[in-house]
Amino acid sequence: MIGPMRRALPFALLLGCSDPGVLEHFLAMEGTYRDVRISDQPDDLHVLRGTVLERLNFQNEAVDQFDTEDPISDLADVDERDLQRGPRVLVNAEDGLYLVETTRADRILSAEDTKIYGARTRNGGILTLEDHPEDGCGLRWYDGVQALEAAVSLPDDACLDTATIHVDRDSADAFVVTPTRTWAATPGYDPLTWEGGGDLSAFDPAHRIVAVATRGETETRAWDLFGSEAFFTDLGQAITDLDDLGVAGTFLYGTSPGVNGRLVLLSSLDGTVLHAEELPRAPVRVRGAEVGTPVLVGLQAELHLFEYTPTGTP
Amino acid sequence: MNRVSAQFAIGAIFAGLTCAALSPNNAFAGIDPEASGFRGAIGPLLRSDRGTPPGLKGGLAIEAEAPVVWRFAVRMDFVTGMASQDQLRASGPTLGILPTFRQPLGKGQAPRWALDVAVGPTLWFGKSTWWEGVYPGPFPGFRGVGGVEYRPHSIVAIRAEGGTDHNYGTLPLLNGSAHGWDARLLVVARQPTNP
């Protein structure tokens, strides 16, 4: 441990790390996966293996298992706020947007001639980025029974295949991020847009800031809903993945400084490094829980979980 | 019965056989000079554990054995630097105490070949290369082995051994355990027991 710590320290000091939190490894699980999310109630994981969507507990046992039998592009979002209904996973598939509940899947929006990307929003609602042949590209907010609440038109270049969307679950404000441009939208208002984007992005709900990065590059930047830059940071290492840590107000970066890897935690307010954890490999996935802990790191065929305690927490 | 329970049951059977044989009224009482004597062994090993990518790691094995009764003995097994090849990269020595049964092959006072099997508990004093603070060990487990011995000399012998080891650390280790197999080639120094 001394070696990795010694290597991490100058890096942290270089980037102005002044208030490091405590990150403690507590679990390692074996398995291959295509995508993974931490549950809102952070005692299990949603893992995509091929066409099978599994909910795993921390003993690597499948609590629920559902085979979609169709190609899934990714796990769009996880919503477990309605405890009576249990966990529900929003899934982007080729033919539409699915809501998977335990052992059943409902196609809630068809994508026969439409590209759809979805995210969960307030009161069980859904935000989608849709590219219609006639209506063009736009954001649409649906309520809990999939009735259209609001819509905002966007230029066609917002509906690229590489676009990602993020939504504030409380206000329903949304971001659309493409590799070169970012849009911020509020229901009922004209969207704002500015130059800058990336194929990786994450939304921090604590400070309502979106961070972007490009896989393989070293720089990251972030903006608020009005397009004001929150920070610009050069991590000095190729970025492999990006996510947020929910209420902790922290962005998570997987980086590849060379042979090994790093997990870097940045403050979403000013981009200062809160913690840099040495890893034996470059992380393929980093994921944060909405409640601020744990942090998940995917290393090839293993999943590792860390408990994060911000400095100052009693 | 799951796999772990079955493996511990096998260990318990061996321990029970050893205890039964120690009884003075037991038909097995007395040491079989063809099979047992004090002995020490040392030699290299190659060990494989799960990992991505999989691979082999080397180490050094040291064994010491004391006769108990008939063809039973107790073996102390020490391995330097047993390492898991998962990303925890836990590494450290292993110590085991293995009840052993040895069966000479052939007739006469000094058969040249012998087979042995042993199963017993181990402790792995492993520490993660990356997160040693939360993985202090030792991790309990067990080892099961089979070996074949060639005795070209009254004192010196050569022994080949293949074994599997399983250690458990509940959740900290990958899926709560580390397990692998190893192959050893040992030089054995035997206490002469034949008249």
Q: If you write DSSP's letter for every residue of A244-271 in order, what string do you get?
A: E-GGG-EEEEEEE-SSSEEEEEEETTT-
Q: How would residue B192 be classed by pLDDT, with cut points 50, 70 and 90? A: confident
Residue A79 has pLDDT above 90, yes or no: no
pLDDT given for residue B170 in this prediction: 66
* Closest Cβ opposite residue A1 in set B52, B130, B171: B130
DSSP A132: E
Contacts of B87 in chain A (CB under 8 A): 28, 279-281, 299-300, 302, 304
pLDDT given for residue A220 in this prediction: 97
Asked if A4 has any chain B CB less than 8 Å from its own CB, the reply is: yes
Average pLDDT over residues B72-82: 93
Average pLDDT over residues A168-192: 92
Check CB contact under 8 Å for B134 and A281: no
Q: What is the ipTM of this complex?
A: 0.71
A–B interface: beta-carbon pairs under 8 A: 53
Q: How would residue A115 be classed by pLDDT, with cut points 50, 70 and 90? A: low
Residue A84 has pLDDT above 80, yes or no: no
pLDDT given for residue B130 in this prediction: 86
- CB B159: neighbour CB atoms within 10 A? 20
Tokens 């196609």 locate to A107
Average pLDDT over residues B108-119: 88
pLDDT given for residue A64 in this prediction: 81
**Whole-angstrom distance, CA of residue A61 vs CA of residue A53:** 13
Beta bridge partner(s), residue B102 = B116
Summarize pLDDT for A231-241 with one digit per residue, the tens.
999 999 999 99
**Whole-angstrom distance, CA of residue A172 vs CA of residue B162:** 62
Minimal Cα distance from A4: which residue of B?
Answer: B130
Contacts of A60 in chain B (CB under 8 A): 175
pLDDT given for residue A13 in this prediction: 37
Question: Which residues between 19 and 58 in chain A have a beta carbon less than 8 angstroms from any beta carbon of chain B?
Answer: 24-30, 58
- A108-130: string of b/e by CB count within 10 Å (b at 16+)? bbebeebbbbbbbbbebbbbbbb
pLDDT given for residue A10 in this prediction: 37
pLDDT given for residue A186 in this prediction: 93
pLDDT given for residue B81 in this prediction: 80
Contact call for residues A292 and A247 (beta carbons, < 8 A): yes
Q: Which two tokens stand for residue A265?
A: 């935690």
Check CB contact under 8 Å for A28 and B52: no
Average pLDDT over residues A68-85: 66
Contacts of A26 in chain B (CB under 8 A): 134, 171-172
Question: Which residues between 285 and 314 in chain A have a beta carbon less than 8 angstroms from any beta carbon of chain B?
Answer: 299-302, 304
Summarize pLDDT for B150-182 with one digit per residue, the tens.
999 889 999 999 999 999 886 667 888 888 899
pLDDT given for residue B21 in this prediction: 44
Measured in angstroms, the CA of A266 and the nearest CA of chain B are apart by 21
Check CB contact under 8 Å for B171 and A30: no
